[in-house]
């Protein structure tokens, strides 16, 4: 440390001007869900069990994968040499894209055509690789951790449909209920049609708590619970459900296991859309850090909302743009901030209305102390200093106002969430 110190003569202590340094911070509103649900009216969502299960089990009922063929290689059309960076923050060479395209083996698309299930929580990748693809790391909101090959995650024991293998057979191209892409072959097992039919006909149990270990009857760890999970019910007693889980046996053969889980972490069928249940679900989601595409086992803005509404029986699409097209939509693009506030206050319903800006979506949670409040999972607040864009990193799920971060000296009001809102949509 001394070798790096200044060699200049020290200034006498009485001539040193000591500047009081205050850490940059933002002002948070209450993070207790009950502060926002207290004024809501308990009224169940208008949902259909049949419609929900049709969406959830969609991969097991695919008869023709050609509908997906034209867009299956979307990532190869989107990301190019010259604007894509690797894990060393250097530009990726053309050979990287050539090797990925070759290994993707799309000439054999729809050659496997088998129903399958994930045996663990998996990342669905846009290329058949674990390596990241980043955009310009020198720009705010790009670089790490925004890996554009991270399409999404899906939980253990989720239905999937396998179209084909990569050339090296390490990866399988799969279609899930809300996304498609590449997962590793050792993360799935194949199921026969009669097995998937029985699974779909069974009563279903919804997981309502995150990160609880689930074990086999012999006490062996299988995977952790995740809100958004649904498992087939075998039987129940006073305190627990016995559910069907699937592990891996002899390469890609399924090994069916009966697992007992507490009724504290699960519920048979949809849960009621009331204050108590919303508080419990949001309390779990508030523990989530921000994870682009669900990376590192976390959630991004749209997966947070998708998982939140799953136990209530509302099926939301996976990305923010598609979620903004559900229900009754009101465009507020181009309006003044004051007009946007008035429209939201007049039309939005707490916990049943989403507010959308390009690339981000949040849940409206009502008016508190005269201000619009929202629930969101966010990366950071946009800032600007000397004309250069930056981020004040939050990186987690929070309750906030639409002008969250406006107490920062470098707050960019022209890029605020309120100023950028394009629409609101109510799905009840």
Q: Which part of the chain has CATH 2.30.30.40?
A: 52-196
Report the topology of domain 52-196: SH3 type barrels. (2.30.30)
372 backbone dihedrals φ, ψ, rounded to 5°:
-70, 130
Q: Are strands 180-184 and 204-207 parallel, antiparallel or unpaired?
A: unpaired
pLDDT tens-digit series, residues 390-422? 999 999 999 999 999 999 999 999 999 999 999
Inform me whether the pLDDT recorded for 10 exceeds 90: no
pLDDT tens-digit series, residues 264-282? 999 999 999 999 999 999 9
**Mean pLDDT, rounded, of the chain:** 92
What CATH number belongs to 34-47+273-426?
A: 3.90.1720.10
Report the topology of domain 202-268: SH3 type barrels. (2.30.30)
Q: Which part of the chain has CATH 3.90.1720.10?
A: 34-47+273-426
**Cβ atoms of residues 191 and 244 within 8 Å:** no
pTM score, whole prediction? 0.91
Q: Which region holds residue 158: left if phi is over 0, alpha if psi is between -120 and 50, else beta?
A: beta
C-alpha distances in Å from residue 95, one per residue of 81, 92, 153, 331: 9, 8, 27, 44
Q: Please give the average per-residue pLDDT across 367-374, as a whole number.
A: 96
Per-residue pLDDT at 252: 79
Torsion of CA 251, 256, 257, 258, to 10 degrees: 170
């Amino acid at each position: 440390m001394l070798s790096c110190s200044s060699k200049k003569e020290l200034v006498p202590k009485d001539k040193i001007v000591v500047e009081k340094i205050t850490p940059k911070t933002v002002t948070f509103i209450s993070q207790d869900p009950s502060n926002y649900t207290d004024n809501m009216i308990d009224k169940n969502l208008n949902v259909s069990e049949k419609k929900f299960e049709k969406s959830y089990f969609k991969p097991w009922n695919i008869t023709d994968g050609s509908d997906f063929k034209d867009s299956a290689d979307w990532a190869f059309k989107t990301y190019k040499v010259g604007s894509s960076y690797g894990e060393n923050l250097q530009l990726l060479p053309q050979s990287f894209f050539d090797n990925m395209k070759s290994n993707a083996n799309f000439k054999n698309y729809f050659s496997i055509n088998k129903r399958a299930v994930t045996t663990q929580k998996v990342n669905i990748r846009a290329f058949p690789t674990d390596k990241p693809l980043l955009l310009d790391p020198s720009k705010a909101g790009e670089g790490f951790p925004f890996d554009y090959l991270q399409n999404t995650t899906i939980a253990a024991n989720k239905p999937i449909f396998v179209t084909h293998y990569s050339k090296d057979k390490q990866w399988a191209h799969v279609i899930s209920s809300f996304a498609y892409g590449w997962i590793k072959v050792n993360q799935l097992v194949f199921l026969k049609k009669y097995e998937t039919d029985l699974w779909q006909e069974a009563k279903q149990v919804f997981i309502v708590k995150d990160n609880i270990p689930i074990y086999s009857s012999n006490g062996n760890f299988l995977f952790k619970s995740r809100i958004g999970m649904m498992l087939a019910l075998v039987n129940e007693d006073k305190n627990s459900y016995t559910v069907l889980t699937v592990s891996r046996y002899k390469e890609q053969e399924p090994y069916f296991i009966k697992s007992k889980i507490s009724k504290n972490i699960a519920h048979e069928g949809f849960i009621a859309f009331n204050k108590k249940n919303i508080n419990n679900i949001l309390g779990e989601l508030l523990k989530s850090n921000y994870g682009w595409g669900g990376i590192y086992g976390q959630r991004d803005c749209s997966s947070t909302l998708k998982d939140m509404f799953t136990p209530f029986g509302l099926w939301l699409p996976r990305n923010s743009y598609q979620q903004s097209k559900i229900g009754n939509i009101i465009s507020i693009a181009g309006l003044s901030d004051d007009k946007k506030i008035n429209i939201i206050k007049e039309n939005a319903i707490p916990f049943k209305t989403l507010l959308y800006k390009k690339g981000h979506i949040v849940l409206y949670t009502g008016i508190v102390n005269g201000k619009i409040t929202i629930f969101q999972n966010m990366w950071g607040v946009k800032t600007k200093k000397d004309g250069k864009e930056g981020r004040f990193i939050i990186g987690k799920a929070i309750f906030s106002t639409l002008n969250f971060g406006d107490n920062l000296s470098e707050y960019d009001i022209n890029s605020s969430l309120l100023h950028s809102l394009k629409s609101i949509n109510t799905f009840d």
